[in-house]
């Protein structure tokens, strides 16, 4: 297959959206967090995705997140807008507005709740891709949407000139290999624990939740794979294992990532919006147990974080917040 230029980057952070204690977006923290991710090695920022709590952001907040990310990145990283909608017309409207706001690409999630057929998925993705000149990443995450993008559908979508990549959260490595063999699509790992295996079979990069906390080791993995240095890539992968478990195992990734970022002093509040809530005491204890393993690993310094300064928030389980203006509808 022909080589296709990568317009997205390789180390993409599935950005959390920092909130104040009352549930409103903390725009100062958003700017600081984006800059920190880029300085740590990210060359792509995905705003308004699952990790960014897209389902409880208003449309104006989503567009402003694109604008802020574009301003902060200053050309240092690509800005990709995620989320979308399970209503095709609404998704088209959001992506058109994101393109005007300066997005470098769009990530279209499989329509959720509706449970469309593969013909419905094909039509949805094609119509959204037709409505923008931006490069498109398909987001295949059946665990959240209820519907996978089947192999045959991916092959058909690969013929669309704007559809250039897939974010894979299915973890079916044999299917990834089949698609890579038969199309020019780029693959991005959507499973933090399997970034190195994805890269090893030909994936381009990752779109990760744990990268909010530690982008540097993902940068190390990608750079090492690019250089053919499996030893260095494996060391960085192993150093990440307990941190990934802390973020992705016990509570939703967004909740754990915010809890850890707040404990490290990087954001002012761990607050999430309802129906998400902060970790209960026993869940927080499990997260902290995993974190305690990180610094004991021989290659822990590659993470670029000092967990000795971690200060847990014992009030995190107070719950989630209701924003002043709710809803994502137009």
Cα distance between residue 277 and residue 318, in whole Å: 8
207 annotated as a binding-site residue:
yes
Please identify which of the residues 64, 70, 95, 139 carries the catalytic annotation. Answer: 139
> What contacts 24+ positions apart, CB below 8 Å, involve 65-68?
65/17, 65/25, 65/30, 66/98, 66/101, 66/102, 66/103, 67/101, 67/102, 68/27, 68/30, 68/31, 68/34
The one catalytic residue among 70, 167, 218, 258? 167
Q: Which residues pair with 207 in a beta bridge?
A: 12
Q: Tokens standing for 254?
A: 């967004």
Question: Is residue 62 annotated as a catalytic residue, yes or no?
Answer: no
Q: Check the annotation: does 80 bind a ligand.
A: no
The full DSSP string for 261-314 is HHHTTSSS----BTT--PPPHHHHHHHHHHHHHHTTSTTGGGG---GGG----T
**167 given a catalytic annotation:** yes
Asked whether the beta carbons of 202 and 177 are under 8 A apart, the reply is: yes
Cα–Cα–Cα angle for 131, 136, 141, rounded to 5 degrees: 115
Three-point CA angle 67, 256, 104, nearest 5°: 25
For the annotated catalytic residues, the residue numbers are 139, 167
Binding region for pyruvate: 51, 207
Binding region: 51, 207
């Amino acid at each position: 297959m022909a080589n296709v230029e990568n317009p997205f980057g390789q180390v993409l952070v599935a950005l959390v959206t920092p909130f104040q204690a009352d549930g409103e977006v903390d725009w100062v923290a958003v700017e600081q967090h984006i800059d920190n991710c880029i300085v740590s090695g990210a060359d792509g920022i995905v705003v308004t995705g699952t990790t960014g709590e897209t389902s409880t952001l208003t449309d104006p907040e989503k567009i402003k997140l694109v604008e802020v990310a574009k301003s902060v990145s200053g050309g240092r990283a690509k800005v990709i807008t995620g989320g979308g909608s399970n209503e095709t017309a609404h998704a088209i409207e959001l992506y058109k507005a994101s393109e005007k706001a300066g997005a470098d690409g769009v990530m279209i999630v499989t329509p959720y709740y509706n449970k469309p057929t593969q013909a419905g998925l094909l039509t949805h993705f094609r119509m959204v891709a037709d409505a923008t000149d931006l490069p498109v990443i398909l987001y295949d995450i059946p665990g959240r949407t209820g519907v996978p993008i089947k192999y045959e559908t991916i092959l058909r979508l690969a013929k669309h000139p704007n559809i250039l990549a897939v974010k894979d959260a299915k973890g079916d490595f044999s299917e990834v290999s089949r698609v890579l063999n038969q199309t020019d699509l780029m693959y991005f790992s959507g499973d933090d624990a399997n970034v190195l295996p994805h890269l090893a079979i030909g994936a381009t990069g990752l779109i990760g939740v744990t990268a909010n906390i530690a982008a540097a080791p993902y940068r190390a993995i990608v750079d090492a794979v690019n250089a053919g240095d499996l030893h260095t890539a494996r060391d960085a992968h192993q150093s990440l294992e307990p941190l990934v478990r802390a973020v992705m195992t016990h509570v939703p990734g967004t909740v754990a990532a915010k809890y850890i970022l707040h404990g490290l002093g990087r954001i002012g509040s761990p607050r999430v919006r309802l129906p998400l809530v902060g970790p209960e005491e026993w869940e927080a204890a499990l997260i902290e147990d995993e974190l305690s393993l990180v610094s004991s690993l021989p290659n822990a310094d590659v993470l670029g974080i000092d967990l000795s300064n971690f200060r847990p928030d014992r009030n995190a389980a107070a719950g989630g917040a209701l924003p002043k203006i709710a809803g994502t509808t137009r």
